Chain A
Amino acid sequence: MKLENSKGYKKVIKWLKTSKKKPFKFQTDAWQYYAEGYSGLVNAPTGFGKTFSLFLAVVIDEINRLEAVPKSTSKKKQSKRKPAGLKLIWITPLRSLAKDLARAMREVCRELELDWHIGVRNGDTPQSEKLKQKKQMPEVLIITPESIHLLLAQKNTHTYFVSLQCIVADEWHELLGSKRGVMTELGISRIKGLLAERHPERLLRIWGISATVGNMEQAMEVLVPYPNLLKTIIKADIEKKIDIRSVLPDHIDMLPWAGHLGHKLAHKLLPIIYKSKTTLIFTNTRGQAELWYQTLLALDENLAGLLAIHHGSIDHELRNWIEDALHSGTLKAVISTSSLDLGVDFKPVDTVVQIGSPKGVARFLQRAGRSGHSPYETSVIYFLPTHALELVEAAAIKEAAKTQNIESREPVVMAFDVLIQYLVTLAVGDGFDDTKLFFEVKQTHAFTELLPQEWKWIMQFITTGGDSLTAYDEFSKVNLVEGLWKVESRQMAMRHRLHIGTIVSDPMLKVKFITGGYIGMVEESFISRMKIGSSFTLAGRVLDFVMVKEMTVLVRKSKLKRAITPSWMGGRMSLTANLGSILRKKYNETLDKSHQDIELDFIYPLFERQAKISHVPKDDEFLIEMIDTKDGYHLFAYPFEGRQVHEIMAALIAYRLGKIKPMSFSIAMNDYGFELLSEQVIPLDENEVKTLFNPAALSEDIVASINATEMARRKFRDIACISGLVFQGFPGKYIANKHLQSSAALFFNVFSDYDKYNLLLRQAYDEAFYQQIEEPRLAAALHRIQSSKIVMVKSDRYTPLCFPIKVDSLRENMSSEELSQRIERMTAEAEKKNNKK
């Protein structure tokens, strides 16, 4: 029978008709493929019903199945609901998506008279609800990757999945490039395995929903690596209209040369907010969000009560309230970080503002899609630059959006830390058989290359502590019990459950009013710098610090209007290669005026100033500025490749310069270029630049130049947490055993000294090399420089181009001097300073 003639299909079409809707072609395609037993990936713009493409497919299938069963006892059924068991697992990366999805799905089930329960399970789900689910799973479970692993850490998990039809990974592009993606892959592999062990005849479909990424095909292969499944990509043939506008100051001089706050333009935001129904204002960091909240309220008191702030460190009840208020349209504007990036459909939102560079095309388009959510509506997004040069980025993003030049997301592979956590998770649950599991794990994309000896090492790591060459006496964690590897200690199992996940942050403390009332969370390192009586802001409130008591920061409401804002240590994003290359082109166009971008016209005076004291690089030129100031001797170079590439390139150049003459540099960089600062004269002539930036012998020089140990040490922080070496501590809920306190850095040193072949160490180095160094991109940049015209400018003052780099506070050190020499010199300097006093 054709799907169109089936009862389920007709019922769905009829229901859509009553609300004057017609399915899009990609939706009916998805329903058809699903009915034929396919797995795959759905790619459609936001707002066109991606959710329904798959949810209705499952619903149609179910209605048709019920139709096939003879209704002999239909009267009895009505008296008491007979649960059908878990049919669909819907994975979402963000908790905030779950509520909205559940609401939409419940409505569909009610309208179609399908007696299904829709359950939500994540960190915000109350314990009573979880217990209820344990007794009887709902038909649909909306869940995060972490909660899937928590489910696998329970006993008798396999009983949950006997009637499972389909697993959907929503917003798959968000998970794809992260360790949470690996968690998802592993979770799916286990659920698939559990079902296959007991019911090998049943088909489990695996579907993903993804926004456009540069590597669509690979995205599907990562999610559905199983050769025995039919798979396809369904791409919607619809284009979302996006209107991008820049917020411009009255004059270019009103925009600072450097900075990342942008609040000088805050007054320009007010008319936009008032003109719109509801505005979402996106910032790149939580700290920036707090500052903007204060700034806007100070500017216009009428906004009090109409303006809210939403980010990951805010109490979830408050977040829920904000999300509800967004739905009902009672808020005028919400300032948010990436916590509201994803698919939540807030109908009243008709305007989006992006403050500062979004760093990538995909992220910008995603945020734009938060407004004008319904099909055929135009998404309106304003770009508010935080410093003058970001105006060029605005022009670049416009062009990238037009040409759909969207970044790829590289999937994470060989994440041993995640695998270790996963194995202990299974050991905490029903236990596992290591020979069987090896092949199951090897089927996933992340661990296709896993070698038997690596697997053996990991098994040793969790059972005996490590290989026999290194003594690990008295180690106990995972033990063999009746043929299965299990964690027997209840205490260890509890501690593990509390630490499932791959999102590692600084230890966080709860913040509460001394009179009661929870506000949110801040990083311990921030609070440790606080003195009694000093103030800070959180969730838009100014608070006076009173004391820290039992992992909780007690505060009072402050009388002050302004205070410092905690800086949450989120990773700094780097400009993507796509955006970088368009950016270089835009520099060209600004100068020769071959463009239609008002942003570029606007910034022209600044370019003129740069041209007067230095030079504006065209895209076939490579600019180096040599500037002497009282701080020392600076070398500024501008490859426009993003801060990450610049970090490595700077270290490389510092190393090569150090070969000419031993010297120490401090390094700074931003997305446009990098700075080498030394207290000694930097020996470099214009005709030597190409030799210095030569791509030959790149690999060797990288190894010799970057402090690989330091980079790996940084990477090891996350690895140590994920693999369970270090406990993050759970704010308020669990105080880590004081006898087990340690730090990732300490483990890094200990393993480096005593257990060199530790796989987690190797992973730290691998991550540093492949994720941090991006060698191919670096090589491409150096090749480009070789074919560019070198322009070297000497100056005694900072230029508009170098200024943003200069004020960047994140710095690295690079030295070719001996450690002892450095220490001696530094102490001598310190003494000199003391004598002066």
Chain B
Amino acid sequence: MIVNCRAEELILSKERAIYWKSKALLMISDMHIGKSAHFRKNGIPVPANVGLTDLQRLTALMQEFKPKTLLVTGDMFHNNINSDANAFLEWRSVYPDLGVILVKGNHDDLKKEDYEALGIEVYTKELLIAPFRFIHDKPKNTDAYYNICGHIHPGVVLYGKARQRLKFPCFYFGSDCAIMPAFSVFTGLKILQPGDGGQFYAITPDRVVQI
């Protein structure tokens, strides 16, 4: 699915990512690396394969788009560095030329050295690449920049006749802000209600569907 946003062409992938072709930039949000390990450390058994699946999906995206830069709009790491971060380091070493940029989110609590060791360029608040502002959570005030953010893990409900309903993660494109779905499969959904004229793109198992 290709959308046109502020005269820029963006490809929406069903693997919960956006590819900005003219800049060779792959964007994702809310990866939550280390979330499953964090749960395990606290006595809640979450299989480790969960995190590995996320990295495999990321590899597939790398092969599909061959981006120069990977941009994560926040919540890349879940709280602390743990065994899942090692898996990411391994993945990272396969792509030494890939630039990885992180705009910090509320869960990103790693030390400065750790980000350096993982080869991640960190922006604390936001990153501006005209016409877009990349930021974790949607800012209260708007300006000339179009915001691209994550944070809330958006989802949408499709209703059919005879009161049928199905739930999917989604992309949202509003008048001054786009919200990306959470990349990690180990995340929940916040269901958004269509209403303010924004456009929703549901991610079904096969493809991205405009609603």
* CB under 8 Å from chain A, chain B span 5-42: 35, 37-42
Q: Using Cβ atoms and an 8 Å threshold, which residues of chain A touch B43?
A: 462, 475-478, 487, 489, 492, 724
Binds B, one of A695-703, A777-785, A816-824: A816-824
Q: Is the CB of A474 within 8 A of B37?
A: yes
B 155-190 to A, binary, CB cutoff 8 A, 1 in contact else 0: 000111111111000000000000000000111100
When C-beta atoms are compared, the residue in chain B nearest to A811 turns out to be B163
A 697-740 to B, binary, CB cutoff 8 A, 1 in contact else 0: 00000000000000000000000000011000000000001011
Residue B209 CB within 8 A of the other chain: yes
How distant is B196 from chain A, measured CB to nearest CB, in Å?
14
Q: Is the CB of A472 within 8 A of B50?
A: no
Residue A677 CB within 8 A of the other chain: yes
Cα–Cα, bound, A477→B160 (Å):
45
Q: Is the CB of A750 within 8 A of B205?
A: no
Cα–Cα, bound, A751→B165 (Å):
24
A 739-774 to B, binary, CB cutoff 8 A, 1 in contact else 0: 110110111011101110000000000000000000
Cα–Cα, bound, A829→B209 (Å):
13
Q: Using Cβ atoms and an 8 Å threshold, which residues of chain A touch B186?
A: 742, 746, 750
Known: A746-B187, A820-B206. A476 touches B41 (CB 8 A): yes
Residue B204 CB within 8 A of the other chain: yes
Binds A, one of B63-71, B76-84, B124-132, B141-149: B76-84
Residue A665 CB within 8 A of the other chain: yes
Cα–Cα, bound, A678→B49 (Å):
41
When C-beta atoms are compared, the residue in chain A nearest to B37 turns out to be A474
When C-beta atoms are compared, the residue in chain A nearest to B168 turns out to be A823
Residue B44 CB within 8 A of the other chain: yes
Binds B, one of A28-36, A289-297, A463-471: A463-471
Q: Using Cβ atoms and an 8 Å threshold, which residues of chain A touch B40?
A: 465, 472-476
Q: Using Cβ atoms and an 8 Å threshold, which residues of chain B touch A829?
A: 160-161
Q: Using Cβ atoms and an 8 Å threshold, which residues of chain B touch A742?
A: 39, 44, 186, 188
Q: Using Cβ atoms and an 8 Å threshold, which residues of chain A touch B78?
A: 739
How distant is B133 from chain A, measured CB to nearest CB, in Å?
25
Q: Using Cβ atoms and an 8 Å threshold, which residues of chain A touch B162?
A: 631-632, 664-666, 677-679
Residue A830 CB within 8 A of the other chain: yes
How distant is A732 from chain B, measured CB to nearest CB, in Å?
22
When C-beta atoms are compared, the residue in chain A nearest to B160 turns out to be A826
Residue A443 CB within 8 A of the other chain: no
Q: Is the CB of B44 within 8 A of A724?
A: yes
How distant is B110 from chain A, measured CB to nearest CB, in Å?
13
User: Which one of A665, A677, A827 has the greatest number of beta carbons of chain B within 10 Å?
Assistant: A827
Q: Is the CB of A470 within 8 A of B188?
A: no
Residue A813 CB within 8 A of the other chain: yes
Q: Using Cβ atoms and an 8 Å threshold, which residues of chain A touch B53?
A: 753
Q: Is the CB of B164 within 8 A of A466?
A: no
The 8 Å CB contact of A471, one of B42, B47, B160, is B47
Residue B45 CB within 8 A of the other chain: yes
How distant is B104 from chain A, measured CB to nearest CB, in Å?
15
Known: A632-B162, A811-B163. A754 touches B50 (CB 8 A): yes
Q: Using Cβ atoms and an 8 Å threshold, which residues of chain A touch B60?
A: none
Q: Using Cβ atoms and an 8 Å threshold, which residues of chain B touch A827?
A: 158, 202, 209-211
Cα–Cα, bound, A475→B211 (Å):
42
Cα–Cα, bound, A473→B43 (Å):
11
Cα–Cα, bound, A476→B82 (Å):
13
Residue B46 CB within 8 A of the other chain: yes
Q: Is the CB of A472 within 8 A of B45?
A: yes
The 8 Å CB contact of B209, one of A466, A740, A746, A823, is A823
Known: A466-B47, A746-B186, A830-B159. A822 touches B166 (CB 8 A): yes
Residue B1 CB within 8 A of the other chain: no
Cα–Cα, bound, A737→B43 (Å):
13
The 8 Å CB contact of A826, one of B35, B41, B46, B164, is B164
Cα–Cα, bound, A476→B79 (Å):
17
Q: Is the CB of B165 within 8 A of A466?
A: no
Residue A825 CB within 8 A of the other chain: yes
Residue A207 CB within 8 A of the other chain: no
Residue A461 CB within 8 A of the other chain: yes
Q: Is the CB of B165 within 8 A of A813?
A: yes
Beyond the given A470-B47, A475-B41, A679-B162, could you list 15 further A-B residue pairs with CB under 8 A, ordered by the A residue number? A471-B49, A472-B47, A474-B41, A632-B161, A632-B162, A666-B164, A740-B38, A745-B188, A746-B187, A746-B188, A749-B185, A822-B166, A823-B158, A826-B158, A827-B158
Residues on A close to B: CB < 8 A? 461-462, 465-466, 470-478, 487, 489, 492, 631-632, 664-666, 677-679, 724-725, 737, 739-740, 742-743, 745-747, 749-751, 753-755, 811, 813, 815, 819-820, 822-823, 825-827, 829-830
Query: Can you spell out 17 A-B residue pairs with CB atoms less than 8 angstroms apart?
Result: A473-B40, A473-B48, A473-B83, A474-B37, A474-B82, A475-B41, A475-B45, A476-B43, A478-B43, A632-B161, A666-B163, A755-B47, A811-B163, A813-B165, A819-B205, A827-B209, A830-B211
